[in-house]
Amino acid sequence: MKRFVLALFCFSLVVSAEKRPLTHADYDGWRHIQNQKLSDDGRFLAYALFPQEGDGQLVVRNLATGKEFRETIGQLPPPPPPNPAASEEGPAPVRGIQLAFLRDSKTVVFSGFPSRAAVDEAKRKKTKPADAPKNDLCVMDLASGKVARMAKVKSFQVPAKGDGFVAYLHEGGGDLVLRNVVSGAERRFPGAVEYALTKDAQVLAFADAAGVYAVAVGKEDAPKAVLSAKAKYAKLTWDEAQKELAFAGAGKLYLWQRDGSGDAVAVSMPGADLVVSDKGAVTFSKDGQRVFFGYAAKAKAAVKDETPAEDRASVDLWHWKDEHIQPMQKVQATMERNRTYRAVYHVADKKLVPLADAAMAELSTSGEGRYSMGGDDREYRPLWEYDERYADSYVIDNLTGERKLVAKKHRGRTTWSPDGKYAIFFDGKDWNTVSVPDGKLTNLTAKATVKFWSEEHDSPGSPQAYGLGGWTKDGKTVLLYDHFDVWQMAADGAWAKNVTQGVGRRDRLMLRYVRLDADPDDKGIDPAKPLLLRAEHEDTRDSGFYRVSLVGNGAPRKLTMAAKNLANPIKAKNADVLVLPVSSFKDAPDLYVTDGSFASLKKITDSNPQQKDILWGSAELVHYKNTDGAKLSGILYKPENFDPKKKYPLLVYIYERLTQGLHTYVEPRPSHSINVAYYVSNGYLILEPDIAYKIGYPGQSALNCVLPAVQAVVDQGFVNENAIGIQGHSWGGYQIAYMITQTNRFKAVAAGAPVANMISAYDGIRWGPGIPRQFQYERTQSRIGGTLWEYPMRYIENSPIFMADRVKTPVMMIHNDADDAVPWYQGIEFYLGLRRLGKEVYLFTYNGEPHGLRRRPNQKDYTVRLQQYFDYYLRDAAKPDWMARGIPYLEKPGVVVAGPDSEPQQ
């Protein structure tokens, strides 16, 4: 009996220790860390910990004792609408809480979102947006962990260089509140709409509909009227020394001295047709002697058209000489209506100078505010549609407004030196400085023996720079990067120095400067202090940190390296305490604490403890040559319980070059593309090959790289050659659509938002920004390298639609009807062509969704269908009902079905 009990006990231990595969139900509870901050003294770390769905927590950890306080902070809101200017494959905007320690490291202040339960209840009741749950403000005492919560808070401010107080504004025209974080005492100022707390926490300025006021913090004195007049006041801003307040209102700029020596001084624009705008930012120069603000033309009274709407013509004229086509004008209409131009007011001279105007709408001003640089792009605006963006660059004298031409048809933005004596820009090949005010151009890199532009660039447009590390504090030198090393170059071109002594190139390490200065007012690199460099190995993608000095000629010293992704750290302002995320494919990006020596890294978070019970996988590099003989690499992901004697289904995911993600953690989550963690956990091999391109032949380039990569994995003997699939989205989707017209290597493919017809796509529109797609084919990703009329055969030969009759592979597509990057009709063209030819094809269109899925229910739906599709073809799973019979429109969820004698159904 005892032996039986012991055997049963041992068996139960084995069963309990067994891991399981990921399921789609695991996504919601998977958590991620964000907004990590250190207190100035380095004793406390605070961060937000959010699941994909459900309420998150604010965690505050005492790094010395390990004690933690946790406070519920609600559920992350859904992502905002897509940004028309964003890249089609760029990540969704980051959502997160606001978080700040007070300077004395005794209090942490943070925002919170409504709970999931409250949001769900509001949805159920169809609550109006004005009455929907609002954000909270939380104030935590770091000694006790006690939290005071304030409801319906729109925004808050904490003093950067003061203690004891926080100011916050309620939602919907509520009170402005000044709170003593120690005693909890509050002063309320009803009706306030704008406010600005000084950095030293001594004065709070605020505006309501009747005027602008200032009140001494910590005293019971009544607010002092800075200005008493009914108007809309905005952009309350203190200067660097916190002695002067500037704000806009009633079409004027106002200045007020904190010492109360006088009333607010009004500054007006010259002429009756121009006004100071309450929309443009108000900023001071670093010395406080200049105030920059926005101005605009005085609004004209609207003329109401009394013609009934049904009797009016509604028409757009697409004129051949328009600077921008109508859709682009429409996208930019709101911005243009609200556009402001920069002007400056010189405080000592009492002189106002308009700087920007319609000819030069954008400019960049040096920190000391004496000069600006701007660009006149009017001559080159039509080129946006098929070329790059250019401008004629000018140095502007902010005292007189005089403009001096320094560069014709220049591309790229300028970066100012801290002293404002130089600006630097990259011209597509070299780095150039502009000496101010004489406008002298100096090419810093033309004579270098290494390249400062991306050597892997393989599209027709100008390559990107490897990057700029920053200026030294004195403004005399700047740090620039080649592929591997860091260079220090004199701004006047007199000398150049390889700071890292060629160690990066010798050891194939990409070395990059890491800024650890916690003070945002500290604008430059201190050349007397050693530099921290992040290192990443070009071949293995191992990463770590080195240290080097700008003084002398010493080689960089290795601090730590690991076969992981060591991200840039944050540092406590007044202590040698650093915190950084560390991750790999199988290790979530948890936080580690160390010091400046990096002698030890101590893990201090465990964001997803449930992962220990789940089958995961491993990531390794595979090497191959494309058909042109070029050496390339790819990432091969294997299941955790991988057995080289077995045969596995293989899924290929493609875009362009992907091996830089070798040590990237793949969070299990629904999406419009395969989730590597899910598929590997469920017994698939995943291959992500790098692709190198030949201009003019993008489709063939992909084929010439992907097939050899697949073969390199097959040759290892553990792939089921009858179970190879491929998936990609956007550019990846196009390449898949092309490849299946050339090869039958794949058992099933899933192509997301593919371009099928380069001819119609060339003259199509990217509806997000409203811009023609011609630039993409002539200059960027699609890599044709010229117009349709220069290379008609290239457009045809790279278009899957013209070879659709060759397709023998089942095709699953997703292309949404609100796609803002690749026009929906491209997916429709390919679907209709394949359908007409009797090919097996499925097209999913999620209504109202842009280029990628944003709504989580849609993400979950497509994720399951994608898995069902590949499981059917690559693992002999049962055929899902939607593949067998489709989804008839009348059976679509939400469609009302009603007959003459029946009740409506949902």
Three-state helix/strand/coil letters over 308-348: CHHHCCCCCCCCCCCCCCHHHHHHHHHHHHCCCEEEEEECC
The pair of structure tokens assigned to 692 is 């190198």
Cβ of 7: how many Cβ atoms within 10 Å?
A: 10
Give the pLDDT band (50/70/90) at residue 259.
confident
Contacts of 733 (CB under 8 A, 6+ apart): 751, 752, 753, 754, 755, 813
Q: Write the CA distances from 208 to 232, 233, 236, 450, 557, integer angstroms.
A: 8, 7, 12, 59, 57
C-alpha 463: how far from chain center: 21
Question: How does the average pLDDT of the chain come out, rounded?
Answer: 92
- CB contact at 8 A, 495 and 442: no
Q: Is a pLDDT exceeding 70 seen at residue 84?
A: no
Contacts of 589 (CB under 8 A, 6+ apart): 32, 33, 565, 567, 581, 582, 583, 607, 665
Q: Is a pLDDT exceeding 90 seen at residue 36?
A: yes
The pair of structure tokens assigned to 501 is 């002594």
* Axis crossing angle, helix 698-714 with helix 731-739, rounded to the nearest 10: 80
End-to-end alpha-carbon separation of the chain, Å?
Answer: 61
Which H helix or E strand runs over 547?
strand 543-548
Closest C-alpha among 253, 147, 241 to residue 202: 241
- Alpha-helical segments (H) within 646-697: 676-681
- 404: buried, middle or exposed (CB in 10 Å: 19+, 13-18, 0-12)? middle
Cα(108)–Cα(38) distance, integer angstroms: 10
Q: In this structure, are strands 265-267 and 274-276 parallel, antiparallel, or unpaired?
A: unpaired
Q: Is a pLDDT exceeding 90 seen at residue 902?
A: no
Mean pLDDT, rounded, for 46-73: 97
Cα(581)–Cα(603) distance, integer angstroms: 9
The pair of structure tokens assigned to 659 is 């091996």
pLDDT digit string (tens) for 212-238?
999 999 888 899 999 999 999 999 999
The type of residue at 563 is: A
Give the per-residue pLDDT at 337: 86
pLDDT digit string (tens) for 146-202?
999 999 999 999 999 988 999 999 987 779 999 999 999 999 999 999 999 999 999
Residue whose pair of structure tokens reads 């006047």 in the numeric block: 492
Peptide bond connecting 437 to the previous residue in cis, omega within 30 degrees of 0 = yes
The pair of structure tokens assigned to 843 is 């097209």
3-state secondary structure of 699: helix
Q: Is a pLDDT exceeding 80 seen at residue 517?
A: no
Give the pLDDT band (50/70/90) at residue 519.
low
Q: Is a pLDDT exceeding 60 seen at residue 899?
A: no
Q: Is a pLDDT exceeding 80 seen at residue 906?
A: no
Give the per-residue pLDDT at 398: 95
Q: Is a pLDDT exceeding 90 seen at residue 63?
A: yes
Mean pLDDT, rounded, for 821-830: 96
Cα-atom radius of gyration of the chain, to the nearest Å?
30
3-state secondary structure of 667: coil
* Percent of the chain topping pLDDT 90: 84
Give the per-residue pLDDT at 32: 96
Give the per-residue pLDDT at 559: 98
Q: In this structure, are strands 543-548 and 557-562 parallel, antiparallel, or unpaired?
A: antiparallel
Looking at 58-62, 88-92, 108-112, 742-746, which range is the least confident one?
88-92
Give the pLDDT band (50/70/90) at residue 894.
confident
Mean pLDDT, rounded, for 12-27: 77
Give the per-residue pLDDT at 158: 95
Cα(630)–Cα(30) distance, integer angstroms: 40
Three-state helix/strand/coil letters over 94-113: CCCCCEEECCCCCEEEEEEC
Residue whose pair of structure tokens reads 């989550």 in the numeric block: 669
Mean pLDDT, rounded, for 323-351: 91
Cα(600)–Cα(534) distance, integer angstroms: 16
Give the per-residue pLDDT at 410: 85
3-state secondary structure of 659: helix
Closest C-alpha among 689, 686, 692, 660 to residue 673: 686
Residues across the chain: 906
Closest C-alpha among 192, 157, 201 to residue 174: 192
Buried b (16+ CB within 10 A) or exposed e, 116-142: bebbeebeeeeeeeeeebbbbbbbbbb
Give the per-residue pLDDT at 83: 56
Mean pLDDT, rounded, for 876-885: 96
Contacts of 621 (CB under 8 A, 6+ apart): 539, 540, 541, 633, 634, 635, 636, 659, 662
Give the per-residue pLDDT at 520: 67
Closest C-alpha among 620, 667, 657, 680 to residue 870: 680
Give the per-residue pLDDT at 86: 47
Cα(424)–Cα(661) distance, integer angstroms: 31
pLDDT digit string (tens) for 270-285?
988 899 999 989 999 9
